[in-house]
Amino acid sequence: MNLDILKNTFTSNELLTGDFGLEREGLRVTEKGKLAMTPHPAIFGNKLKNPYITTDFSESQVEVVTPAYDTVPKTYAVLEGLCDIVNNEIGDEYFWPQSMPCDIPEDQDIPIAVYEGEKDAEAAMAYRKGLIERYGGKKQLISGIHFNFSFTERFIDKLHDAVAPEKPRKDFKDGVYLKLVRNYLRYRWLVIYLLGCSSALHQSYVPECVRQMEAVGDDAYVLKTGTSFRNSVYGYKNKIFLFPSYRTVKEYTEDVQSFVDKGLISAPKELYAQIRMKAKGVDNILESLEEDGIKYLEIRTVDLNVFDKCGIAEKDLVFLHQFMLYLLVEEESDDADWQKEGLENEEKVAAFGLDPDLMIRQNGREVSMKRWALEILEKMQKMDIELELGNGGVLKVMTDRVIHPEHTYAYRMAEMVKKEGYLNGMMRLAEAYKKESHDTRYLLKGFDNYELSTQILIKEAITRGVPVEEIDPQDNFIGLGKGDKKTYVKQATKTELDNYITVLVMENKVVTKKIMAQRGIPVPAGEEFSSYDEAARRIGPYVGKKVVIKPKSTNYGLGICIFDQGGNEKDLLEAVEIAFEYDKTVIIEEFIPGQEYRFLVIGGEVVAVLKRVPANVTGDGVHTITQLVDEKNRHPFRGYGYTAPLKKIELDEQTELYLKQQELKFGDVLPDGKTVYLRGNSNISTGGDSIDMTDEMPDFFKRIAVEAAASVKAVFCGVDIIIEDYRDEKSPFGIIELNFNPSTDMHAYPYQGTERRTGEFILRALGLIEN
Amino acid sequence: MNLDILKNTFTSNELLTGDFGLEREGLRVTEKGKLAMTPHPAIFGNKLKNPYITTDFSESQVEVVTPAYDTVPKTYAVLEGLCDIVNNEIGDEYFWPQSMPCDIPEDQDIPIAVYEGEKDAEAAMAYRKGLIERYGGKKQLISGIHFNFSFTERFIDKLHDAVAPEKPRKDFKDGVYLKLVRNYLRYRWLVIYLLGCSSALHQSYVPECVRQMEAVGDDAYVLKTGTSFRNSVYGYKNKIFLFPSYRTVKEYTEDVQSFVDKGLISAPKELYAQIRMKAKGVDNILESLEEDGIKYLEIRTVDLNVFDKCGIAEKDLVFLHQFMLYLLVEEESDDADWQKEGLENEEKVAAFGLDPDLMIRQNGREVSMKRWALEILEKMQKMDIELELGNGGVLKVMTDRVIHPEHTYAYRMAEMVKKEGYLNGMMRLAEAYKKESHDTRYLLKGFDNYELSTQILIKEAITRGVPVEEIDPQDNFIGLGKGDKKTYVKQATKTELDNYITVLVMENKVVTKKIMAQRGIPVPAGEEFSSYDEAARRIGPYVGKKVVIKPKSTNYGLGICIFDQGGNEKDLLEAVEIAFEYDKTVIIEEFIPGQEYRFLVIGGEVVAVLKRVPANVTGDGVHTITQLVDEKNRHPFRGYGYTAPLKKIELDEQTELYLKQQELKFGDVLPDGKTVYLRGNSNISTGGDSIDMTDEMPDFFKRIAVEAAASVKAVFCGVDIIIEDYRDEKSPFGIIELNFNPSTDMHAYPYQGTERRTGEFILRALGLIEN
């Protein structure tokens, strides 16, 4: 196997494709950096069933797990989404950014993960208790990144064809991964040097470790040239070193079984390893490895990177992927002591890696770690160019870290701790990450190719452990749940719960009105016209009356004219002409004065009520309208299109005209407290404000909304009601429109008022969550 | 009340608007013209519940009833639709076109209408038996047209305001209708003259009547100058003449009640009247008349017009409507004997109307019928001009009938009977009407503003007595059923039975395939591309393979290219470019060779299977391709757009090109028996032939279609399956597409094979019919 084979067999796109998965563990802590003693948040559902967010050893140790994706960027983005969810859903707690623990209590007070009611619950807790007995509890709180990787089956196929078509495919594939494992064990020290980020620990950590460190500041201890406590002897490792064979799968499984049989480890999964071979079977791993072969590899070396919200930087992941390709082509030495050498190098680099003169062993010979590292990176750079991987920038960063140890994460972290203190420094970062997650809480990273409403739904599903299948992002089509409960959803509220004709009824304003009227629901009187001439003939009765003239079936307020003081024949017919630009049928309808409210009805219940206010600014006696708009547009919720819950206000011709009618210009300074409306229509899509009114709206009008939705048998329905005075049940009101794909994001992230968890209501209606 | 008031109060549109309803009775007869002794066809459902098609006196007497509509043309068209249904649904029987009966048996053998199981059944049959005893059965078989009329409430309002705003509205309205009734009774002789069409009868009719007639030919008897046996003493009338007061509603109801009390009639409904006042209440007519006032008028004078398939010509209906307006403005005389005079004139005109010198009585004076008739028509002509009703042509026809008695229906019918014989002549007409109905059986008159598929469904609903509500013709939106069973349907197969997400799944070919594949349904392998560049990068594996390249979500075969022999890179990419013109996503898919079949699945059952064949002609050794196409286009099923089940073949550029590839030109004469295809695609919309294969298709493939529909939970689904050899279960096959709004008309009216009653399957799936 050499570079040329890769070059001749694959396109660079194929080389950049694989199956990638990430796991990130992390402790929940109080604002003071103490281990949180609270239970795993109930919103994450059942720990044993939520595939995205669960616990690891401790009840206070959150573990997020991405599904497998075929590119690094997608996998990384989903990890970020998961970290954002944790930051936003753990209340006033924080997600500890470091691998080494926070301020932790003694073993007996460390809360191990609680499992109840499930068939594996007892075994899971017993296993954890055993670990405390054998290794102590504090070391179990060390967290890290697990990087799961495999080539695609198509990649294996092509490689098999190119290299050894005569070999059975399974043996070939196992051979590829075994080579990767052996080489990884040889070269893992490089990962520890480049990505190591646990060079400091807290005084509450295991005393016999702390004792050997240098104290810096009040609460922090460091190893002077260490890169990774976690990967050092001070981290969590087996009591004695075990070297199973990695020559064949069979030899490996036999060795591991013999360790278990001899009582050296309690189960195969207790075998400490920087890289693990994973099989299809989870419970019967050794049998499955033999039978099904190696499915993927799990790399467990990577420390949490405190300088990244996700615990790992995307460039480091890009490096790790190319490192896999490097290990695939790099020739192996036949040194007999390679496993022992690999382990020694690991521990040396973990404890002393920042020493520029550090010597490690290469096939029995002492070599400069720095020189060897540069040699490897040079080969990788050559590979990058040959294979056109586009990783030049990333490799340059890595090379820089070798040349300048002070640029490593480990060095920078130790410096920060010396300056700010251990808990202080870490909590400053944790707080910044939490704020970042909060500010973008309406988005879900990794799924930003979906409309906001679908992102919100996916986010809620992931949070609660409902499996999400991506079906068609362009169409905002997803699958939710599994087995019998599996259901499909388009654009968040198009589901199997609504029947087709209900939707078609709502799509047609005339039909909707007819049916509502037949059911005794109050709707404005009106009639429809299918030509301008017809309207012109019958316009008479509407002259001077309060009317709305609108196209029959468009949305977003386009082509609608309101005559709230009545209009003359000429103006009415002009409005008719405009409306005909949007539809072949036009409606003239009684105008009902008052404020319009959007009632979001889901499954016979009003789950949110919103008032929409036209784009506006309020003066301060100092700033111009343009400046006030700029300021208002800075709100994190304001963006463009389907990507933000509120839209940026645009100062366009229409706004100019609207202001002119009020004798105002963009450059005018508004008096303090004076609110000026910039448009006539209240649509969010033209910069309007959304104000949650769910709690304020009386039940009376909520019941009207529910009845309106029920009249067309709608499960998901946005009911627009105009009410003159919502506080008065006797107030005149009328139902303007039923919407079959109601916006949910404007309720979830209003400009003012309570944020309504629309995703939760949808999942509940679909029977995917119970609580 | 005078003409000026109408002119100043109403637009001509308002004057032409009203509430119109028509009833037409008619006997079912054998091909020999004998009364059918078969039961009322079961397809018409329960006689007491079908609002459109029921029986009258006899089991063999069909009565069709239109709902009320606001214009004459719509009402008339619906009547035509109903008559077509009867013609098409009575098997090998015929709809007798004349008012006077066909060849009928003696009283004891006349089948009276059978009612079973309903609460009113016994009373209905007892009433009919009583009628036979009192009047004889044969006269009960006389059929006619009932014309129901009222002004709109808006019309009454405006008239009330203009004429007598001080009067209570109810009294005013009753007054309007009472005037109409009195004047109608005075002038009814004119209707008998103009529309009378029962101047001949069969020898099997009541002997004492027949005996007084002149025999013409073998089986026919005529009165020399008679216009209407039905309205004469030989028709069905009360034994003694009863003249209730028509001064006020109260006086009328009291008089009628006294007739009943005295035993002169058995119930109010037995009172013979040329015009009846109808109330809201049906069972308690007298009370309801007093309480609710007059709702509408029923005119019962009109004979069946044998020269029209519907039993009445549209122009005669237009005349009747203007006649109502005439009666409204015409001043009344105060002659005391007006009712007696009206009756005498009626009988005279019925028996001797064709005598040009006939004298009748006007306020006690003898006048020439002809002169008086012309006087009235002249007034009506003036009215037509003044009010701009546009009825000039119709009034001219009526005037012509007065001047030329030989142009009357009555005269023409008698002449026909003399020439052809009674049964012969009538049956010739009945057969012609039946054929006309059959040739246009895919249409439903009165509903031809709907797509064909909706017309078919409405037709089935009406046939079976399922109430149809027209909601929005533009959108093909209708309501079916009533009460709890009321449901809405759009475009025939968009119903409440399908859930929304199922439709959205089917709308997206990629999603459909994913879900079908997950469920183990065989679908062609393939992938999707969202840009030309992406496709260009990944086109490699498809070069030289059998593939289909198509836009992701369009229909009708637009933008689809098939490479059934494999294509080179350039051609494939050209096809990709074409496909991108129709959608932003393009699919490249494995091509499965074979014939494509459309399986129509409704409610888990394959109800029809169709093969579609590209537009083609078969030569005869004589005609050119152009001539053969012209001939084929003459088929009654071939038309344009949504109005015909098959489309006319167009000889356009594409056809020219396609023929050129076969070295053929439009002008070529094809050898006898040689079939030439004119296009590559088999869509019906481009002139393809549809061939029913429902019975031929083995259950194996039907089960596959049902499973495919079930995989997306579709109730209505068009499943397109390509099968290499349908007779072989082991034949390669693949599911190409699922269609959520499958065409039904192509199954209902195929070019070849059995016509499948798709409307019936839809109604059954909706739970609206049981059998």
Q: Which residue of A has its CA nearest to B583?
A: A474
Confidence (pTM): 0.87
What is the C-alpha to C-alpha distance for residues B407 and B114, in angstroms, rounded to an integer? 41
For B500, the closest of A472, A503, A511 (CB atoms) is A503
Higher pLDDT, A590 or A83: A83
Cβ contacts of A415 within 8 Å, gap of 6 or more: none
**pLDDT the model gives residue B133:** 83
Contact B19, B53 (CB under 8 A): no
CA angle B597, B598, B602 (to 5 degrees): 145
Instruction: Return the bridge partners of A147, or none.
Output: A22, A299
Q: Buried b / exposed e across A596-629, counting CB within 10 Å, b at 16+?
A: bbbbbbbbeebbbbbbbbbbbbebeeeebbebbb
Q: Which residue has the tokens 């007054």?
A: B175
For A510, the closest of B472, B501, B713 (CB atoms) is B472
**pLDDT the model gives residue A634:** 93
H/E stretch holding B427: helix B422-439
Contact at CB, A496 and B499, closer than 8 angstroms? yes
Q: Buried b / exposed e across A86-101, counting CB within 10 Å, b at 16+?
A: bbbbbeebbbbbbbbb
Asked if pLDDT for residue A238 goes beyond 80, the answer is no
Contact at CB, A501 and B487, closer than 8 angstroms? yes
Q: Does A496 touch chain B (CB under 8 A)?
A: yes
Contact at CB, A498 and B500, closer than 8 angstroms? yes
Residues of B in contact with A471 (CB under 8 A): 510-511, 514
Higher pLDDT, A740 or B124: A740
Asked if pLDDT for residue A763 goes beyond 90, the answer is yes
Asked if pLDDT for residue A771 goes beyond 70, the answer is no
Residues of A in contact with B475 (CB under 8 A): 504, 508, 511
Contact at CB, B510 and A472, closer than 8 angstroms? yes
Asked if pLDDT for residue B225 goes beyond 80, the answer is yes
Residues of B in contact with A530 (CB under 8 A): 474
Mean pLDDT of A416-429: 95
Mean pLDDT of A167-183: 96
What is the C-alpha to C-alpha distance for residues A231 and B274, in angstroms, rounded to an integer? 108
Contact at CB, A501 and B515, closer than 8 angstroms? no
CA angle A13, A16, A22 (to 5 degrees): 145
The three-state secondary structure class of A179 is helix
Mean pLDDT of A446-469: 96
The three-state secondary structure class of B480 is strand
DSSP secondary structure letters along A214-245: EEETTTEEE-TT-SBGGGSTTS---SS-----
Chain B residues 442-471 with CB within 8 Å of chain A = 471
What is the C-alpha to C-alpha distance for residues A554 and B764, in angstroms, rounded to an integer? 34
Reported as a pLDDT band with limits 50, 70 and 90, residue A134 is: confident
The three-state secondary structure class of A333 is coil
- Taking the CA of residue A531 and the nearest CA in chain B, the distance in Å comes to 13
Asked if pLDDT for residue A540 goes beyond 80, the answer is no
**pLDDT the model gives residue B597:** 96
**pLDDT the model gives residue A255:** 96
- Sign for the CA dihedral angle at A580, A582, A584, A590 comes to negative
B644-663 tens-digit pLDDT: 899 999 998 888 888 888 89
Measured from the Cβ of residue B720, the count of other Cβ atoms closer than 10 Å reads: 18
Mean pLDDT of B711-716: 95
A603-634 tens-digit pLDDT: 999 999 999 999 999 999 999 999 999 999 99
Q: What percent of chain A has pLDDT over 70?
A: 99
Of A188-202, A467-481, A538-552, B373-387, the range with the lowest mean pLDDT is A538-552
CA angle B644, B650, B653 (to 5 degrees): 150
Residues of B in contact with A505 (CB under 8 A): 488
Mean pLDDT of A75-80: 98
Reported as a pLDDT band with limits 50, 70 and 90, residue A287 is: very high
Strand B646-647 to B638-639 pairing: parallel
Mean pLDDT of A195-224: 89
Inter-helix orientation angle B509-518/B699-711, to 10°: 110
**pLDDT the model gives residue B471:** 92
CA distances for A72 relative to A15, B131, B612, angstroms: 12, 91, 48
B501, B534, B712: which to substitute to probe chain A, counting the most A Cβ within 10 Å? Answer: B501
Mean pLDDT of A537-559: 78
Q: Does B515 touch chain A (CB under 8 A)?
A: yes
Q: What percent of chain B has pLDDT over 70?
A: 99
Walk me through the domains of chain A, giving residue ranges and CATH numbers.
Answer: 3-439 (3.30.590.20), 452-497 (no CATH), 525-590 (3.30.1490.20), 595-765 (3.30.470.20)
Q: Which residue of A has its CA nearest to B741?
A: A500
Asked if pLDDT for residue A154 goes beyond 60, the answer is yes
Q: Does A487 touch chain B (CB under 8 A)?
A: yes
B506-532 tens-digit pLDDT: 998 888 988 999 888 988 888 888 888
Extended beta strands in B595-647, E state: 595-602, 606-613, 616-618, 638-639, 646-647
Mean pLDDT of A595-603: 95
DSSP secondary structure letters along B136-200: -SGGGG--BEEEEEE--HHHHHHHHHHH-TTS-HHHHHHHHHHHHHHHHHHHHHHHHHHH--B-E
B549-568 tens-digit pLDDT: 988 776 556 788 888 888 88
Tokens of A637: 């919720």
For A500, the closest of B13, B500, B530 (CB atoms) is B500
Residues of B in contact with A475 (CB under 8 A): 504, 508, 511
Contact at CB, A477 and B511, closer than 8 angstroms? yes
Mean pLDDT of chain A: 92
Contact B591, B599 (CB under 8 A): no
**pLDDT the model gives residue A121:** 80
Reported as a pLDDT band with limits 50, 70 and 90, residue B723 is: very high
Number of A–B residue contacts, CB under 8 Å: 87
Contact at CB, B499 and A504, closer than 8 angstroms? no
Contact at CB, B501 and A511, closer than 8 angstroms? no
C-alpha gyration radius of chain B = 32
- Taking the CA of residue B476 and the nearest CA in chain A, the distance in Å comes to 11
Inter-helix orientation angle A509-518/A699-711, to 10°: 110
**pLDDT the model gives residue B771:** 59
CA distances for A248 relative to A245, A251, A284, A293, angstroms: 7, 5, 18, 10
For B501, the closest of A13, A489, A713 (CB atoms) is A489
B620-641 tens-digit pLDDT: 999 999 999 999 999 989 998 8
Mean pLDDT of chain B: 92
**pLDDT the model gives residue A554:** 60
A55-67 tens-digit pLDDT: 988 999 999 999 9
Q: Which residue of B has its CA nearest to A495?
A: B501
Asked if pLDDT for residue A555 goes beyond 60, the answer is no
**pLDDT the model gives residue A236:** 80
ipTM comes to 0.85
The amino acid occupying position A701 is F
Mean pLDDT of A405-421: 95
Q: Which residue of B has its CA nearest to A585?
A: B474
B20-50 tens-digit pLDDT: 999 999 999 999 999 999 999 999 998 889 9
Contact at CB, A474 and B514, closer than 8 angstroms? no
Contact A603, A573 (CB under 8 A): no
- Taking the CA of residue A512 and the nearest CA in chain B, the distance in Å comes to 10
What is the C-alpha to C-alpha distance for residues B46 and B74, in angstroms, rounded to an integer? 26
Q: In what order do the strands lie in the sheet with B689-692?
A: B689-692, B606-613, B595-602, B716-723, B733-739
Asked if pLDDT for residue A556 goes beyond 60, the answer is no
Q: Which long-range contacts (CB under 8 A, 24 or more apart) does B695-704 make?
A: B695/B754, B696/B609, B696/B726, B697/B597, B697/B599, B697/B606, B697/B609, B697/B726, B698/B726, B698/B727, B698/B729, B700/B729, B701/B597, B701/B599, B701/B726, B701/B729, B701/B733, B702/B599, B702/B606, B702/B609, B704/B521, B704/B522, B704/B733, B704/B735
- Taking the CA of residue A471 and the nearest CA in chain B, the distance in Å comes to 6
